[in-house]
Structure formats: structure tokens, C-alpha cells
Amino acid sequence: MSDISSSAPPFRHLLGIEGLSPSDISEILDLSDEYVAQNRQVDKKRSILGGRAQINLFFETSTRTQTSFELAGKRLGADVINMTATASAIKKGETLIDTAATLNAMHPDALVVRHPHSGAVALLSQKMDCSVINAGDGSHEHPTQALLDALTIRRRLGQLHGLTVAICGDILHSRVARSNIMLLNIMGAHVRAIAPPTLLPVAMERMGVEVFHDMTQGLEDVDIVMMLRLQNERMRGAFVPSTREYYHFFGLDREKLAKAKPEALIMHPGPMNRGVEIDSELADDINRSVIREQVEMGVAVRMAVLDLLSRRPGNQPPVGPDTGPETGPEGAQP
Ligand code: ASP
């Protein structure tokens, strides 16, 4: 590893992209590049997190994010424990704060959390002595997704600055869109949001994006086309007349893609709904689609984040009152 590996980040938790500086982001991406190289070797394992415990606490289902956080921790030598809401005391009525206090008492060194409510991960982080990483909270933020997207783009196109990125589809319910919009703005890219009015947050322009309701206009000359899933699980009521009509107007097909730059890349955070937001053949187009590459970058980015956060001196488990026998007879407990 190069000497960039020696610095600790100025933040203790990774709760969102909001608040990160261009150099924070570049540092994570630079270290991620090193982990991409490591992950392509036969020997992928390091022991820099040896002896540390990482808990993945998921209150929502996940395939890519949970697996890649688990793999990332294990490749760095940590002991990784996966907890899902269905298997935990939450189902028995325990509050989020009590769950946090319980886990904190076990002195984990990193807690990775996914939760259906925006802000829940930040709340939980206030009760933990270790680093907390947001693996997606409601429709708020999904910082490691935006970082892995940025890594994918940077490795393909050299830099983020000056690129035009179109984020298309269900932006209203998407934490991926919010984190990406923030990151791309911080790094000097131009962001376009393309969606029907029902799937856009109010005052979207205030987030520093150009808004379009028509794919053919919005995709004109873009470098990156980032498609989003219709997040039915977060919808209360009908936001589109039918998936068929949605595909007709907002699904990515060859005709609409022809408006973008000839070498424009197609991205999708997954899971994909083929034939709803993206044409199946385009999703698999090896010249244009970088969807599988995004998954590969996810492991490297999560390794970089776990590595960097572990270097924060404040993230070491606190030394509590020692009640063990070695403190003397008064400290001895039955
Ligand atoms: N996997 C991403 C997320 O957790 C995107 C999605 O679910 O559509 O937000």
C-alpha cells in the first residue's frame, strides 16, 4: 500500500456524502483503487483489521451491499457478524436505541447499518462508541453506493470534474440519487435529473441539478446514464400509471440512449427491473454497461472505508471501569 494508507479521516462515522470534502472523497477513491488491484489477485486477504469486530445490522433486505460489506471486512481480517432485523430482538419489540446500547456493550469496532427510516443510522451512531457506516437509510443517503459509482466513473473516464451525469427514474424515493447528486456536485460534475414530476422531490433544482421530464432532451450529450429502480416498497399510492407506460417514456432503450454521447456509460445500482427502467439487452451490453463493474468497485470502496475509519484513534473501544480480578479484591466479581 502507498503512503496514502497512513492517514486517518477527519470524520468518525460515514453517515452520508453530505459534509465530505473533495479531498475526503479523493482519498477514499485513491485507497479503493489499491483495493481493486488487491482484489484481483489470488491472495486477497490482509490482516489490518485482525482482532476487530464488525457488525452488519440490516433492517432491510440487501444482496450487494450486505455481501460486499461482509466480504470487505473479512478480506481485511475482521470478524464479521451479520444481523438481520428478523433474527434480532427488534422483532420482539426492542427499541433502536436499546439495540444500539446492547451492541455497544459488546465493543464492536465498526457497525454497518441499513434502516428503512431516514435519519435512523445517524440516531444510532450517537449511542455507539465505534464507527458507524450508513448502508442506506430510507430515501436519505447511501454513501458507499455513491462512492462506488464515483470510482467506476473515475476509473473509466479519468475524472469526475466536468462530466455530465443523467440520473433517471425514481429520484423521489432514491437514497442512491441523493448521495450521488451530492458527491457529483462536490467533485465538479454536472448533474441532470430526468423523471416524471411525480417521481421528483419538490425544489429539486436547489440540490444543484438540471431537471428534465423528457428522456430524449435530458440525455442529450451526457457522459453517464444512471438508471434507478422504481422503489415500490417506499411508495404510498400510485406514482406511475403503469410500468408499461413508464418503460415507454422513461425506460432506457437504444433509441433514447442514442441521444447521449456515443461512448456514454450505463450504470444501475441494482437490483434491476429489466423491461421496467432498462432494456434487458442494454443492461448486458459489454461496451456500454458498467453495472457488473459497479459491483466489483463496491467491495473495494467498502474495504477502503473500513480501513480508513479504523485508523481514527477515537474509534478504538473505550477502556471502561475494569472490574476484572486483576484490579484487586474489590474489583473481583463473582
Ligand atoms: N440497492 C439500492 C438501495 O439500497 C438501490 C435500490 O434498492 O434500488 O438503495
Residue 136 has what pLDDT?
98
CB of 175 shorter than 6 A to ligand 1: yes
Distance from residue 268's CA to the centre of ligand 1 (Å): 9
Backbone angles phi, psi at 199, to 5 degrees: -110, 25
pLDDT in the model for residue 237: 72
Judge if the beta carbon of residue 142 lies within 6 A of ligand 1: yes
Cis peptide before 313 (omega within 30 of 0): no
Q: What is the pLDDT of residue 315?
A: 60
What is the tens place of the pLDDT at every residue in 117-168?
A: 999 999 999 999 999 999 999 999 999 999 999 999 999 999 999 999 999 9
**142 Cα nearest atom in ligand 1:** 9
Decide: 178 in ligand 1 pocket, CB within 6 A. Answer: no
pLDDT at residue 236, rounded to an integer = 76
Per-residue pLDDT at 334? 33
Ligand 1: centre distance to CA 52 (Å): 28
> Does ligand 1 lie within 6 Å of residue 143's CB atom?
no
Nearest atom in ligand 1 to 64's CA: 1
Between the CA of 148 and the centroid of ligand 1 the distance, in Å, is 13
Q: Whose CA is nearest to atom 4 of ligand 1?
A: 136
Residue 135 bridge partners (DSSP)? none
279-283 own/partner pairs: CB under 8 Å, 24+ apart: 279/251, 279/252, 279/253, 279/254, 282/252, 282/253, 282/254, 282/257
- 251 Cβ below 6 A of ligand 1: no
With a 6 Å cutoff on the Cβ, whether 192 touches ligand 1 is no
CA distance 54 to 77: 10
Q: Which atom of ligand 1 lies closest to the CA of 60?
A: 4
Does any ligand 1 atom lie closer than 6 A to the CB of residue 108? Answer: no
Per-residue model confidence (pLDDT) at position 263:
96
**CA nearest to 225, candidates 273, 258, 182, 186:** 258
CA dihedral 196, 200, 206, 209 (to 10 degrees): -50
Does 169 sit in the ligand 1 pocket, CB within 6 Å? no
Whole-model pTM: value is 0.92
Amino acid letter, residue 61: T
Task: Quote the pLDDT of residue 8.
Answer: 85
With a cut of 70, list the residues of the chain below it in pLDDT. 1-6, 87, 89, 314-334
Looking at residue 240, its pLDDT comes to 79
Kindly give the number of the ligand 1 atom that is closest to the alpha carbon of 65: 1
Q: Ligand 1 pocket check: which of 63, 140, 145 to mutate, most ligand atoms within 8 Å of Cβ?
A: 145
Which amino acid, one-letter code, is at 279? Answer: D
